Amino acid sequence: MARHLITSALPYINGIKHLGNLVGSQLPADLYARYQRGRGNEVLFLCATDEHGTPAELAAAKTGEAVADYCARMHGVQAELAEGFRLSFDHYGRSSSARNHQLTQHFAGKLAEAGLIEEVSERQVYSNADGRFLPDRYIEGTCPNCGYDRARGDQCENCTKQLDPTDLIDPRSAISGSTDLEVRETKHLFLKQSAMRGQLNDWIDAQTDWPILTTSIAKKWLNDGDGLQDRGITRDLDWGVPVKRGDADWPGMEGKVFYVWFDAPIEYIAAAGEWADAKGLGEADWQRWWRTDEGADDVRYTQFMGKDNVPFHTLGFPTTIMGSGEPWKLVDYIKSFNYLNYDGGQFSTSQGRGVFMDQALEVLPADYWRWWLLSHAPESGDSEFTWENFQQSVNKDLADVLGNFASRVTKFCRSKFGETLPEGGAYGPREEALVADLTARLARYEQLMDAIEVRKAAAELRGIWAAGNEYLQSAAPWSTFKEDPETAAMQVRLGLNLVRLYAVLSQPFIPDAAAKMADAMGGAGAWPEDVAAALSALAPGAPFTVPENLFRKITDEERADWQSRFAGRRG
């Protein structure tokens, strides 16, 4: 049994995420976790809400809540939506947890001992109108590199160049819009990433199986311009992890907190501790996933994220892990995704353009969205959600191919043979050809799922469904029954075993429909080791039921209504 540690990028706490956020990390991570569990492997699948930083403070101020209360409420909202989309986290934690506070301070202490943290007096932007130092991302201006006029003080979203606030042309407060800014002296801690450049470069070079997208972004940040830069890891904020060296105070850092991008990845580790706490387990139970001196050397660790998060997971977080000098588990594989655009433009949280997770579940059940998003995952490049494509995919793939097959074979069997699998008949050339075809297809499906080639795996799964439909259409048991009831019985029995097989293979993509198919066939089976054996697993006399309609078609009127409803400003 292999052991798989799986994490997806932490969704930020300020609001409900849109479908582009979902397909960029959490949903493909869930697909992989479900697949590995289905193969009989041991899985720990972790995620959490990312709760620190200025955006949380500002969002709480808008609602009139204390920031801690706001984060607690929104964690509940996001956890409920994750459950609605059937995201099978073993634990869904919080970066504001006591575990993460302790671990963040622990790592800071170890990095300081290793000489990788430096106290720097720097000049930082202060907004007189807002009465506060402005975090980098809350300063906007024109990018000196590409001229984009809404670049943030930490990075230009247009050209992705890493920036400092003082680099911006015509800077302004993103909070109030005020240009009444001044630069004041303040002291902060900097993580000396540059000292780790050689070690990081060697580590990244050794990851020969990483996606090109992941490696290219990591290399660009590692070598761009002056190379890897030291980065500030503290901020002048109230909400966050207080700056300490382990358990000890850090003189000169009173009233400061760690930067959200320093503490958030550490929550991956803290979430394992939270999971163990919730289960009543001990320290060794979670450390066996994260510490190589406690057994984590045989763990395969896979991270899922959008491409904008890659630099922090290939450089920043590894610097923390490696620099600590402790035997923590490093990631083995980073699956990164491009962006999902929306119907001719971009998803926009601020404008409410596009479909958000809560709205999606109000419109249709989770499986409809899971199938489209995964089968159109933005792997090799950006992809686009259109309502026409969504309607076509649901109607053809889910309703016509899979749903129609399950409905036809179960209803026909019930009408001619009753609600148990019929006896009689033996395989002929058509059945042998089907077994051979499905054996080859299953091998390809497993290879693609192991490689986390999400779109190709979805296409192969659809091909497995289509093979059953083509067999049923060719065999035509409704015609065979008139002349040869025994052969028709064999054909129907094979078809019912196909429904059971589809339940097992489809579960990572469409878990609710898979559960309905499995229930109709008397329960889910194990992952098939042999297709021929799987297609005779249900013996004559085994009971079955007709599953309720697995998928309904989307009408043209519904499509037009939804396209109009989600084009404008939300709320």
Q: What is the 3-state secondary structure (H, E, C) of 38-63?
A: HCCCEEEEEEEEECCCHHHHHHHHHH
Is 413 assigned to a binding site?
no
Per-residue b or e along 102-117, where b marks 16 or more CB atoms closer than 10 Å to that residue's CB: bbbbbbbbbbbeeebb
Q: What is d(CA 274, CA 82) in angstroms, rounded to the nearest whole number?
A: 18
Consult the annotation and say whether 71 binds a ligand. Answer: no
In the block, which residue shows the tokens 């803290």? 270
Closest CA to 306 of 337, 343, 265: 337
Nearest to 201 by CA among 171, 221, 225: 221
206 close to 333: Cβ distance less than 8 angstroms: no
Residue 349 assigned ligand-binding role: yes
The continuous run of DSSP H or E covering 171 comes out as strand 169-173
**Cβ proximity of 339 and 306 under 8 Å:** yes
119: enclosing H helix or E strand: strand 117-127
Rounded Cα–Cα distance for residues 450 and 455 (Å): 13
Q: Residues 523-533, buried b or exposed e (16+ Cβ, 10 A)?
A: ebbebbeebee
Residue 47 is labelled as binding a ligand: no
HEC-encoded secondary structure of 352-389: CECCEHHHHHHHCCHHHHHHHHHHCCCCCCCEEECHHH
Q: Residue positions in the annotated binding site?
A: 143, 146, 156, 159, 349
Q: Residue positions in the annotated binding site for ATP?
A: 349
Q: Residue positions in the annotated binding site for Zn(2+)?
A: 143, 146, 156, 159
